[in-house]
A = this chain, B = another copy of it.
Amino acid sequence: MPKSRVEACDDAVIAIIMTIMILEIKVPETASFSGIIEQLPYFAAFVISAIMISTGWYNLMNIFKSIKVVSKPAFWSNILFLLCMSPAPMATAWVARFPFSRHTEYFYFFVFIVWYLSYYLLDYLLVKGNQREFSNDKIKQHQRINRFHLAIEVSCALISLVIIYFFPLWGIIFSILTALSWILYSCFK
């Protein structure tokens, strides 16, 4: 399976998912600025989700750059990854409409955690299917870093589950912190 077409499909789906999130910004019914101000919570949520998806896309591009083929399990794992990303626009719009609700924040949190997990699976299978491209040491190091990230992510997620119960807004704050940490990590790597 050549990697170019899988890349093209990923790019298209990511571009479209970002666009669907933009579509949720409604044209105000009034001609005054108050119409825009009502849209601000959604716009903030949109920027946060867009940055998170961009970081995922950035990391994915880095992996694809260093591999040669996409194995069958990796192909299906890629479809799973795209499926897990599909509820993101809806979760973003919902959390923006009810930002102080426990339910919406848990759902938003849950959607992005599942998306992260599918990302780790895809990363693992892509590297595994291209073992000949990498030295043994490099693979071991890559998988070690990934396991380390996954451990941090899961620990923080478990703690966050409790925090959201008492302070719902934490769901979206946690997303901001995660995205920021990914950007910083990508810059200093």
Chain A residues engaging chain B, CB cutoff 8 angstroms: 1-2, 5, 7-9, 11-20, 22-28, 31-33, 35-36, 39, 43, 46-47, 50-51, 54, 57-58, 61-62, 65, 72, 75-76, 79, 82-83, 86-87, 89-90, 93-94, 97-98, 101, 103-104, 107, 183, 186-187
Q: Is the CB of A72 within 8 A of B12?
A: no
Q: Is the CB of B15 within 8 A of A13?
A: yes
Q: Is the CB of B103 within 8 A of A26?
A: no
In the complex, besides A1-B62, A12-B12, A20-B23, 20 extra interface pairs with C-beta distance below 8 angstroms are A1-B61, A5-B61, A8-B11, A9-B14, A15-B16, A18-B86, A19-B20, A22-B86, A22-B90, A24-B27, A25-B86, A27-B94, A27-B97, A32-B103, A33-B103, A35-B94, A43-B87, A50-B79, A58-B75, A72-B186
Q: Is the CB of B104 within 8 A of A31?
A: yes
Q: Is the CB of B15 within 8 A of A187?
A: no
Select A72's contact among B27, B75, B93, B187, beta carbons within 8 Å. Answer: B187
A89 to B18, CA, bound (A): 14
Q: What is the count of identical protomers in the complex?
A: 4
Chain B residue nearest to A78 in the complex (CB): B54
A119 to B20, CA, bound (A): 23
Q: Is the CB of B65 within 8 A of A2?
A: yes
Which 7 pairs, one residue from A and one from B, show the smallest C-beta to C-beta distance? A12-B15, A31-B98, A31-B101, A16-B19, A27-B93, A22-B86, A25-B90
A61 to B86, CA, bound (A): 22
CB distance from A124 to the nearest CB of B (A): 18
Q: Is the CB of B22 within 8 A of A89?
A: yes
